[in-house]
Amino acid sequence: MLLGWAAVTPVGSSPDDDYHLSSIWCASGNESGACELDPNDSRARLVRQDVADAFRCYAFESEISAACTGQLTDELVSTTRVNQTAGLYPSWFYRSMSLFAGSDPHSSVLTMRIINALIAAAMFFAALLLSPRGIARSIATATLIAYVPIGLYIIPSTNPSSWAITGVAAFWAFGISTMARQESVETWRTLVLSLGVVIGAVMAIASRLDSSAYLALVAGIVFLTVGVRQLRRKWLSALLLVVLALMGLIAYATTNPPVAPGGEALGSAEPGIGLLLTNVLNVPVYLQEAVGGPLGWYDIVLPTWVPITGTLAMGFVIYRQLAFGKSRILLASAVAFAAFFLVPVVFLQLSGLVVGELIQPRYLLPLLVVFIATAALSPELVRDRPWPPLALGVMLPALAVSALLAFWYTAHRYAAGSGQGLFDLDLAIEWSGITSIPWLLVVVVTVITTVGFFTAGYAVLRHPQLGSREIPENTDGRI
């Protein structure tokens, strides 16, 4: 399903991809014909036009298809949008992706997208298989809800947020599974779960500064979820989470925060009570946009069906958790929910910014995944609680339609442009995708796999078969 998204989007189609692609091509140092020093500006680099400027002909021009990218050349152009001089992101994501950067940007970018999609799918599949069934079901719930549509767009991309989303989600999934496991669980399973925690933390730290800091929040939510007794029993696993969270905080604290060109403050608003109240009232828009787009360079506006369905699905999960009554998990869910709103409010207040400036929903998506996954847990944590079949029968098909609509809007926009009708039977394809596979075949296969994914999701949530069987040790069924 992710590979379908990767195939129908052109080079440079994820937000700020001019910065990210230039940083990837320059991550290995200066190389003739790919990334060279600009003799006229020490802060700039000379990068291939079909890398640095790939987005310019179609971004914010919805009526123009991605066919215009065929006019780009390998001529070197000057750009200051490069991490090697700006230093806005950790370097390890760019260094890793640079291993696949070659003389053909299309095949190089496609390879990077495939790698990131496979990493996300592998981590998700491992978490489903190795986690206790109750936790595995919450992982499936969060994936089905929170990844539509931004996660589906960003994960198979060359944007560092791909690793941030996958890494933070993996840190929560494997971390809570190591903390909730019973003494009878096989040693190999414990070791693999611990390895998953480490991989998730490394991906988060290597990709973005904010996701590095998120690790501490996630660790605290995990500890609050499992409780003091389990912390004492699994002190070694808890120590692993603490060490990785501290590494994330150190990485965040020792890196200079982003500033505007020239070193001025990011925003011009007076950081007083007026700014605070304005942002508090408007910050819920991030929740709506996280489950409803827009996509691309913020120029692919999706139908209202998508954000409404995503919001209602989150409401269903919240109501279900509230119906369980008092529990540590309810408290942990409240903390995760509050973090989703407080993180941007605090940052905006300190930076003199208002909602809509600088912060984008994809930055907060890792926190949303953690919130939904935590809220989807039952009070018994590792045990199953049946979901109402009628509710699932309404929610999951609606989410599948949202995923299909988001995919079709994206595929149509880049293949034909908004000048042609969304559902025209005589649609003229101007750009056939980043692969040599026929565009229509890619669309059909992606539609089939999307329907299959949500169908499998219904099976897992209604009659879960994945995940390890673990019975809590105490008699009341609570850890």
**Tens digit of each residue's pLDDT (9 = 90 or more) over 332-353:** 999 999 999 999 999 999 888 9
Same domain (yes/no): 134, 88: no
* Burial tier of 474 (Cβ tally within 10 Å: 0-12, 13-18, 19+): exposed
Contact present, 48 and 21 (Cβ < 8 Å): no
Domain count, the chain: 2
pLDDT grade, residue 187 (50/70/90)?
Answer: confident
Query: Is pLDDT of 473 > 50?
Result: no
pLDDT grade, residue 420 (50/70/90)?
Answer: confident
Sign of CA dihedral 283, 287, 289, 290: positive
| pLDDT score of 269 | 77
Report the alpha-carbon distance of residue 422 to residue 270 in Å, rounded: 44
| pLDDT score of 463 | 75
pLDDT grade, residue 432 (50/70/90)?
Answer: very high
Residue 176 lies in a domain: yes
pLDDT grade, residue 479 (50/70/90)?
Answer: very low
Same domain (yes/no): 448, 329: yes
| pLDDT score of 470 | 57
Residue 331 lies in a domain: yes
| pLDDT score of 355 | 92
pLDDT grade, residue 23 (50/70/90)?
Answer: very high
Same domain (yes/no): 38, 149: no
- Residue 260, classed as helix, strand or coil, is coil
φ, ψ of residue 313 to 5 degrees: the values are -65, -40
Residue 478 lies in a domain: no
Q: Determine the average pLDDT of the residues in 210-224.
A: 97
Residue 332 lies in a domain: yes
Report the alpha-carbon distance of residue 207 to residue 123 in Å, rounded: 16
Domain boundary among 60, 85, 102: 102
Q: Which of 195-204, 397-406, 452-461 has the lowest mean pLDDT?
A: 452-461
C-alpha to C-alpha distances, 476 to 96, 117, 471, 472, 479, nearest whole angstrom? 48, 41, 11, 9, 9
Same domain (yes/no): 234, 283: yes
pLDDT grade, residue 431 (50/70/90)?
Answer: very high
Report the alpha-carbon distance of residue 365 to residue 147 in Å, rounded: 8
Same domain (yes/no): 43, 121: no
Q: Which of 169-178, 254-263, 467-476 has the lowest mean pLDDT?
A: 467-476
Q: Is the peptide bond before 294 cis (omega within 30 degrees of 0)?
A: yes
The DSSP symbol for 363 reads H
Report the alpha-carbon distance of residue 92 to residue 82 in Å, rounded: 14
Q: Determine the average pLDDT of the residues in 428-439.
A: 93
| pLDDT score of 383 | 75
Query: Is pLDDT of 457 > 90?
Result: yes
Q: Determine the average pLDDT of the residues in 45-53.
A: 95
Secondary element (H or E) of residue 76:
strand 76-79
Same domain (yes/no): 157, 214: yes
Q: Is the peptide bond before 438 cis (omega within 30 degrees of 0)?
A: no
Q: Roughly how many angstroms between the first and final C-alpha of the chain, as a whole number?
A: 36
Q: Which residue has the higher pLDDT, 427 or 38?
A: 38
Same domain (yes/no): 86, 112: no
Secondary element (H or E) of residue 46:
strand 45-48
What is the percentage of the chain residues whose pLDDT exceeds 90? 77
Same domain (yes/no): 90, 113: no
| pLDDT score of 387 | 84
Query: Is pLDDT of 262 > 50?
Result: no
What pLDDT digit, counting tens, does each position of 98-126 carry? 999 999 999 999 999 999 999 999 999 99
Domain boundary among 60, 83, 102: 102
Q: Which residue has the higher pLDDT, 188 or 122?
A: 122
pLDDT grade, residue 478 (50/70/90)?
Answer: very low
| pLDDT score of 15 | 93
Alpha-carbon 317 to chain mean position: 20
What pLDDT digit, counting tens, does each position of 352-362 carry? 899 988 899 99
Range of the domain at 431: 108-462
Q: Determine the average pLDDT of the residues in 395-404.
A: 97
Residue 472 lies in a domain: no
Alpha-carbon 211 to chain mean position: 10
> Alpha helices, DSSP H only, in 78-180?
83-86, 92-98, 105-130, 133-146, 150-154, 161-180
Same domain (yes/no): 79, 119: no
pLDDT grade, residue 419 (50/70/90)?
Answer: confident
Contacts of 276 (CB under 8 A, 6+ apart): 345, 349
Residue 475 lies in a domain: no
Same domain (yes/no): 83, 120: no
pLDDT grade, residue 177 (50/70/90)?
Answer: very high
Secondary element (H or E) of residue 319:
helix 305-323
Across the chain, mean pLDDT equals: 91
pLDDT grade, residue 465 (50/70/90)?
Answer: low
Report the alpha-carbon distance of residue 367 to residue 213 in Å, rounded: 11
Residue 260 lies in a domain: yes
The DSSP symbol for 78 reads E
Same domain (yes/no): 47, 143: no
Same domain (yes/no): 123, 77: no
Domain boundary among 78, 102, 126: 102
Residue 321 lies in a domain: yes
Query: Is pLDDT of 48 > 70?
Result: yes
φ, ψ of residue 46 to 5 degrees: the values are -95, 115
| pLDDT score of 190 | 87
